[in-house]
Amino acid sequence: MELIVFAAASLTETLTAIGEIYSAENPGVTFSFNFDSSGTLKTQIQEGADCDLFISAGQKQMNQLDSTASADVNTEGLDFVDSDSRVDLLENKVVLCVPENGDKGIDSFDSLAEHLKAEDILFCMGNSDVPVGQYTQKILAYYALDEEALAAAGVITYGSNVKEVTTQITEASVDAGVVYCTDAYSAGLTPVDEATKEMCGQVIYPAAVLKAAPNAEAAREFLAYLQTDRAATVFESVGFTAL
């Protein structure tokens, strides 16, 4: 039996590893993982893609599929998520990274803001429909920076998911970028600063079985496994906090 798991791109390494452990302990269970931005995954689910379990990097994308969520967020009244199965699985941190030999002196969000105001760097962030981009937008707003004006001035470039942003930083095609601490860890980047709750709120990853899941019971069992100490060890090894 193949479990179909849609998960945020930032979970690629950890979920792949946990899936291998789980398959070894549960012969007959294999996985088809679809890793992408939570916004893209949400759209695919909405359009009818087969999916057993959805793990989002933000509450917004899960809420948009959950009939028990506020109508302010679930504006279309969508009903794809088994809300009884929904849990807050993990917490991540939003961090600022620069290329290994970055020479702009960007060592904090404060200094990033100064450089953005001076328009003398190239900064990479996630698109507005992906959680890492939405968290970054909150940070820009915290510093009263005008994203549209900066993008028009050629100071901001975008990635369609967090992995794309991370790649632009590691390849030094930008002077700085905002990613999750787990992606920085996986890419061998050392963050220069960590965003506070005041800047962008908490970064919580909700998980839920879908109402139309082809393998709902098996998906519930795997979701329960993701909440065990054994799974937590894998998640925490790259910087996640298990909730």
- Residue 26 CA to residue 49 CA, distance in Å, equals 25
pTM here is 0.86
Q: Are residues 67 and 117 in the same domain?
A: no
Distances from the Cα of 67 to the Cαs of 33, 60, 61, 155, in angstroms?
25, 13, 12, 39
At residue 125, the pLDDT reads 98
Distance from C-alpha of 238 to C-alpha of 228, rounded to nearest angstrom: 16
Q: How far apart are CA 235 and CA 116, in angstroms?
A: 33
The domain in which residue 141 lies consists of 94-194
Instruction: Give the pair of three-digit tokens for residue 71.
Output: 């109508």
Task: Kindly state the tokens that stand for 127.
Answer: 């698109």
In 3D space, the residue among 243, 171, 158, 230 whose CA is nearest the CA of residue 202 turns out to be 243
Express each pLDDT in 16-55 by its tens digit. Answer: 999 999 999 999 999 999 999 999 999 999 999 999 999 9
Encode pLDDT of 169-217 as tens digits: 999 999 999 999 999 999 999 999 999 999 999 999 999 999 999 999 9
Give yes or no: residues 69 and 100 share one domain.
no
- Average pLDDT (237-242) is 94
Q: Which residues are annotated as a binding site for molybdate?
A: 10, 38, 162, 180
Which CATH number do you get for residue 223?
Answer: 3.40.190.10
The pLDDT, as a whole number, for residue 102 is: 86
- What is the number of H-type helices and E-type strands within the chain? 11, 11
Report d(CA 218, CA 9) in Å as an integer. Answer: 22
Instruction: Look at residue 157 in the predicted model and tell me its pLDDT.
Output: 98
Tell me: do 14 and 83 sit in the same domain. Answer: yes
Residues 6+ positions from 34 with CB-CB distance below 8 Å: 4, 5, 6, 7, 41, 44, 49, 51
**Same-domain status, 60 and 134:** no
- Give the tens place of pLDDT for each residue, 82-130: 999 999 999 999 999 999 988 899 999 999 999 999 999 999 999 998 8
The annotated binding site is made up of: 10, 38, 162, 180
For residue 7, being part of any structural domain is answered with: yes
- Structural domains of the chain, count: 2
